[in-house]
Amino acid sequence: MGRRSLLLLLLLLAFLTPGAATPVPPALRALSSLHLSTSFRSRPAVAMKYSIHYIQQKVDHFGFHTDKTFKQRYLIADKHWKEDGGSILFYTGNEGDIIWFCNNTGFMWDVAEELKAMLVFAEHRYYGESLPFGANSFKDSRHLNFLTTEQALADFATLIKYLKRTIPGARNQPVIALGGSYGGMLAAWFRMKYPHLVVGALASSAPIWQFEDMVPCGVFMKIVTTDFRKSGPNCSESIRRSWDAISRLTEKGTGLHWLSEALHLCTPLTESQDVQRLKDWISETWVNLAMVDYPYESNFLQPLPAWPIKVVCQYLKNPNVSDTWLLQNIFQALNVYYNYSGQARCLNISETATSSLGALGWSYQTCTEMVMPFCSNGIDDMFEPHSWNFKEFSDDCFKQWGVKPRPSWIPTMYGGKNISLHTNIIFSNGEIDPWSGGGVTKDITDTLLAIVIPEGAHHLDLRANNAFDPVTVLLARSLEVRHMKQWIKDFYASLRKMH
Amino acid sequence: MGRRSLLLLLLLLAFLTPGAATPVPPALRALSSLHLSTSFRSRPAVAMKYSIHYIQQKVDHFGFHTDKTFKQRYLIADKHWKEDGGSILFYTGNEGDIIWFCNNTGFMWDVAEELKAMLVFAEHRYYGESLPFGANSFKDSRHLNFLTTEQALADFATLIKYLKRTIPGARNQPVIALGGSYGGMLAAWFRMKYPHLVVGALASSAPIWQFEDMVPCGVFMKIVTTDFRKSGPNCSESIRRSWDAISRLTEKGTGLHWLSEALHLCTPLTESQDVQRLKDWISETWVNLAMVDYPYESNFLQPLPAWPIKVVCQYLKNPNVSDTWLLQNIFQALNVYYNYSGQARCLNISETATSSLGALGWSYQTCTEMVMPFCSNGIDDMFEPHSWNFKEFSDDCFKQWGVKPRPSWIPTMYGGKNISLHTNIIFSNGEIDPWSGGGVTKDITDTLLAIVIPEGAHHLDLRANNAFDPVTVLLARSLEVRHMKQWIKDFYASLRKMH
């Protein structure tokens, strides 16, 4: 989610706590709470039939004051599972409804038969139905206290031990962790911290280095910009010029009204604060397009054409036009994202992301552990300049959630760039995915591998096979399967050796 | 600590919470809270000069509801430290005052010069001066909530990152974790979970497998018994017969009085409950002797002779005597442990362990994460039969601390027997140390090594060099140094490769 959802959040919070101020953080603040996983619904050839289950998990794996439990949801699909020589593919759920992720991870369904695999999709605590305190889960920092990566990994560990104990034939089978985006980080970290439970991990589009100063804070927006620059002549330049055009237009008395009409906004802009909200909403649209710039028609909040940025850029060929003309072009471009179906009667600047993603939980996570610095300078990228201001970010978090972010904790816990001692992790990244800037894109060792997909957007490899897939993603997937098979083979070899 | 301290605890708790019941758990219950680290004060040739420091640590590394901090104490000795090619030996503090451990870990002082090492001794939270809530730290389960191995390891990780950031010349130096007993477990687990922070670990007398059903629950008492059996003819048999003798004697009207006189008890036995207390106290004395059966004079709560069990066994050569005679022999034997100095005027059955160990904290830890099953059967060992009754244990924990133990958590978290993917850990064990029964005594891989010291008691190798050291411990120490040197060398080699 971005600033729009953030504002929704703030409004929501203001509603919950009457009198609370609704601070207006800078645009880049919003980015830190961008949802990493904006998969589209795929249309797989494989029928996705699963059963739904629940396991009682400790609310707090790391403390004993409370012994409370909650129900974690998980899905199982075992059509192709074989007890003899089979495997378990374990999806490390991320910030959303697990059924939505399950339906958007066609890759696992596509390879199940070849790997004789049972598919398990584990929902992340505080998302979907897996709410530790039910409707009160997001009430305050006391109830949110157990929403951390460590607790989520402990849930996964407990679940795997439980499955092995209770499903006949599962005990002596290799488990592979798979995840995309934030879930990809979890898959990688799970292998690092619990190598006794999973033989390897496929971490797709996992920006495990988008923390502290491990990568430049501007890399994300730079990649977004490159995507637009390469998708059509003058495309990024048109967007770069649009910000000042908006400013100039809205300085005039009738500007807000004109712009509201020109962009067909559902709710007209009325005050100067709305201008920043508008810019943030437009920025996030470009960012989202970069994440989901898939090579075929796909369906997110609304349907999108194949290579949507190319379609967008058809409207942004000429930056040297008047402000009003430029903004009318911007409207056409936005319309590709928000109205490909042609059904929309107006554009709602309070919406960009599917409700299957857990906006509240993710906002809290970015304000605690998942502190990812973002910035733009307007030179290397097409956005307005925004520096990364941790102090301001931290203050906003405290106002919003009553917590203070700890930016150096994730690198302390998970090793930062010093992870070469771990084994059997594949980091796959699409080169056009802005999150690849914080990802592992070069092999670290023989068993910590990077796969780069030049035409790939956000975790394209985890999506179902598609006739329009570029050959690079097909190669990536076959490489991933080859490694997974090797892990499985190694597991059985060492099992035989033991007996 | 054992049952004695447990009773003290219960009394203390009863004092704190008037009206609270003081349940009398079975003798073996006490064992689960035995202190693992009962090092003796060594008399090193090396002068132990250190400076005392404090670092602000988060009370809760794994939650953000509280952002409170506390002062963790640590010691630094850098006399032999070299910036060029040096190293950092990091003692992962265990359940007691860090100065006491520092003074009892002569090995680190002995090897500092050879390894050009800075010595760092980190105090474990909730012990010594490192109390998260000061005097209230043990008040209730809410205050004790942050006493876990995970939090302790996170303290260590944070401290190492802090030292590397703040001590000039420390940044690019290899750190090695060292610890004994519970601290040995922490050293091993630290390498497993934070391999990016330590290049290796020396885990001395670390019973990482004394959990769930990884080893038979009777192995501990069996080793204690073997120590006594081998230290003198009929020695263990005399002890085995003593329990029934005590029972028979105290069934008579004057038995309690007679026994109180015969054993020179400071406080006479008055009720039948006292009989079990007495037996537990005697049992724990034998257990403690097995742990500290060192080859030279040493000093624990009171001075002990070299090979103290041999001395004890001189009084226990004849099991075929009358009950009163046998118990008089038992008194002589106990007197070796409690009155080697000849200064004691009576024996106090409320005391067995040094006050440098944190009895309260350790009792809580055994009631939460550190659930180690113990049992005896009176056949393979010289103790009265006691089965391991988890239900009863758990109920006692709940009564005492308001928490429920989670016996399968440690294996889930730290891998149980499935740890072969980790590297650079030395598990050293003394064969006469009862804790070796739960330790790693066979190599797991080329870099997960077991060193067994046939004549070694509890972490003898971590003690200072002594003229009476058996050659096996000298060999063990030289092997340990060789591996540590190799880790340091490998670290610098890979550092050079990177630059």
* B135 and B223 in a common domain: no
Write down the mean pLDDT value for chain B.
90
Chain A residue numbers with beta carbons less than 8 Å from the beta carbon of B415 are 194-196
Any domain includes B412: no
B117 SS3 class: strand
At B43 the pLDDT is 43
Check A62 against B62: CB less than 8 A apart: yes
Numbered residues of chain A with Cβ closer than 8 Å to any chain B Cβ = 58, 61-65, 67, 141-142, 144-146, 148, 150-151, 154, 157-158, 161, 193-196, 368-369, 403-404, 406, 408-409, 412-413, 415-416, 418-419, 421-423
Any domain includes A282: yes
Chain B residue numbers with beta carbons less than 8 Å from the beta carbon of A148 are 62-64
Any domain includes B302: yes
Task: For A427, list phi and psi in degrees, rounded to 5.
Answer: -105, 110
Beta-sheet strands, E only, within B301-446: 303-304, 425-430
Chain A residue numbers with beta carbons less than 8 Å from the beta carbon of B173 are none
At B303 the pLDDT is 80
Dihedral, CA atoms, B283, B286, B289, B291, nearest 10 degrees?
A: -70
Chain A residue numbers with beta carbons less than 8 Å from the beta carbon of B67 are 403-404
* B148 and B41 in a common domain: yes
Check A150 against B65: CB less than 8 A apart: no
Q: A–B: how many Cβ contacts below 8 A?
A: 88
Among candidate residues A304, A338, A372, the one where a domain is terminated: A338
- Of A58, A157, A421, Cβ closest to residue B195: A421
- Of B161, B406, B423, Cβ closest to residue A421: B423
Q: Which of A56, A58, A59, A64 to mutate to test the interface with B (most CBs of B within 10 A)?
A: A64
* B285 and B137 in a common domain: no
Check A64 against B406: CB less than 8 A apart: yes
Q: How many independent structural domains does chain B possess? A: 2
* B10 and B143 in a common domain: no
* B155 and B91 in a common domain: yes
Residue B236 belongs to domain with CATH number: 1.20.120.980
Chain A residue numbers with beta carbons less than 8 Å from the beta carbon of B61 are 409
Q: How far away is chain A from the Cα of B491, in angstroms, using its nearest Cα?
A: 12
Chain A residue numbers with beta carbons less than 8 Å from the beta carbon of B422 are 195
Check A157 against B413: CB less than 8 A apart: yes
Closest CA to A413 of B78, B252, B196, B201: B196
Six token digits for residue A176: 């592979």
Check B404 against A193: CB less than 8 A apart: no
pLDDT band at B481 (very low <50, low <70, confident <90, very high): very high
Rg (CA), chain B: 23
Chain B residue numbers with beta carbons less than 8 Å from the beta carbon of A150 are 62, 150
The model's pLDDT over B292-315, given as tens digits with 9 standing for 90+, comes to 999 999 875 568 999 999 999 999
Q: How many CA atoms within 13 Å lie on the side-chain side of B37? A: 33
Any domain includes B90: yes
At B353 the pLDDT is 63
Check B64 against A403: CB less than 8 A apart: yes
Chain B residue numbers with beta carbons less than 8 Å from the beta carbon of A416 are 196
Q: How far away is chain A from the Cα of B447, in angstroms, using its nearest Cα?
A: 13
Q: How far away is chain B from the Cα of A23, in angstroms, using its nearest Cα?
A: 21
Spatial separation of the C-alpha atoms in residues A58 and A67, rounded to whole Å: 7
Closest CA to A356 of A31, A100, A163: A100
At B21 the pLDDT is 30
Spatial separation of the C-alpha atoms in residues A294 and B131, rounded to whole Å: 55
* B313 and B191 in a common domain: no
Q: Which of A65, A159, A397, A495 to mutate to test the interface with B (most CBs of B within 10 A)?
A: A65
* A284 and A170 in a common domain: no
- Catalytic annotation, pick one of A458, A459, A461, A469: A458
- Of B63, B194, B415, Cβ closest to residue A145: B63
* A320 and A293 in a common domain: yes
- Catalytic annotation, pick one of B78, B110, B274, B433: B433
Chain B residue numbers with beta carbons less than 8 Å from the beta carbon of A58 are 406
Residue B469: active-site member: no
Any domain includes A411: no
Spatial separation of the C-alpha atoms in residues B280 and B30, rounded to whole Å: 8
At A228 the pLDDT is 98
Chain A residue numbers with beta carbons less than 8 Å from the beta carbon of B409 are 61
Check B154 against A413: CB less than 8 A apart: yes
Helix (H) or strand (E) holding B273: helix B273-291
Global ipTM: 0.90
Q: How far away is chain A from the Cα of B100, in angstroms, using its nearest Cα?
A: 28
Interhelix angle B255-262/B273-291, nearest 10 degrees: 30
- Of A65, A148, A403, Cβ closest to residue B141: A65
Spatial separation of the C-alpha atoms in residues A494 and B144, rounded to whole Å: 42
At B44 the pLDDT is 46
* B268 and B129 in a common domain: no
Q: How far away is chain B from the Cα of A460, in angstroms, using its nearest Cα?
A: 31
At B357 the pLDDT is 72
- Catalytic annotation, pick one of A110, A293, A396, A433: A433
Nearest CA in chain B to A495: B418
**Averages of pLDDT over each 10 residues, chain A, 499 residues:** 34 29 32 39 63 98 97 98 97 96 95 98 98 96 98 98 97 97 98 98 98 98 98 98 96 91 94 93 96 89 87 97 97 94 89 73 97 97 97 97 98 97 98 98 98 96 96 97 98 91
Residue B490: active-site member: no
Chain B residue numbers with beta carbons less than 8 Å from the beta carbon of A146 are 63
Helix/strand number for chain B, H first, E second:
17, 10
Any domain includes A317: yes
Check B403 against A67: CB less than 8 A apart: yes
Among candidate residues A307, A323, A338, the one where a domain is terminated: A338
Spatial separation of the C-alpha atoms in residues A160 and A88, rounded to whole Å: 10
Residue B213: active-site member: no
Where in the sequence is the domain holding B477, given as residue range(s)?
37-205+459-498
Interhelix angle A359-366/A390-401, nearest 10 degrees: 130
Residue B162 belongs to domain with CATH number: 3.40.50.1820
Chain B residue numbers with beta carbons less than 8 Å from the beta carbon of A423 are 421
Any domain includes B417: no
The model's pLDDT over B309-359, given as tens digits with 9 standing for 90+, comes to 999 999 999 999 999 999 999 999 999 999 998 888 999 998 776 667 778
Numbered residues of chain B with Cβ closer than 8 Å to any chain A Cβ = 58, 61-65, 67, 141-142, 144-146, 148, 150-151, 154, 157-158, 161, 193-196, 368-369, 403-404, 406, 408-409, 412-413, 415-416, 418-419, 421-423
pLDDT exceeds 50 at position B42: no
Nearest CA in chain A to B415: A196
Check A64 against B368: CB less than 8 A apart: yes
Beta-sheet strands, E only, within A78-211: 87-92, 117-122, 175-180, 200-204
Task: Check: CB of residue B308 under 8 Å from CB of residue B337.
Answer: yes
At A301 the pLDDT is 53
- Catalytic annotation, pick one of B35, B124, B422, B458: B458
Q: How far away is chain A from the Cα of B102, in angstroms, using its nearest Cα?
A: 26
For residue B51, count CB atoms less than 10 angstroms from its CB and return exposed for 0-12, middle for 13-18, buried for 19 or more.
Answer: exposed
At A16 the pLDDT is 28
Q: Report, as an integer, the average pLDDT of B13-23.
A: 29
Q: How far away is chain B from the Cα of A243, in angstroms, using its nearest Cα?
A: 37
Alpha helices in B41-148 (DSSP H): 98-103, 106-111, 141-144
Q: Report, as an integer, the average pLDDT of B374-387.
A: 97
Nearest CA in chain B to A417: B196
Nearest CA in chain B to A141: B65
A382: DSSP letter: S
Residue whose entry in the numeric block shows the structure tokens 């309690």: B256
Any domain includes B390: no
At A45 the pLDDT is 54
> Is the Cα dihedral A224, A185, B198, B147 positive or negative?
positive
* B308 and B190 in a common domain: no
* B305 and B328 in a common domain: yes
Task: Check: CB of residue B93 under 8 Å from CB of residue B178.
Answer: no
Among candidate residues B293, B315, B338, the one where a domain is terminated: B338
* A239 and A196 in a common domain: no
- The pTM score is 0.91
Closest CA to A193 of B53, B413, B404: B413
Six token digits for residue B132: 């998260």
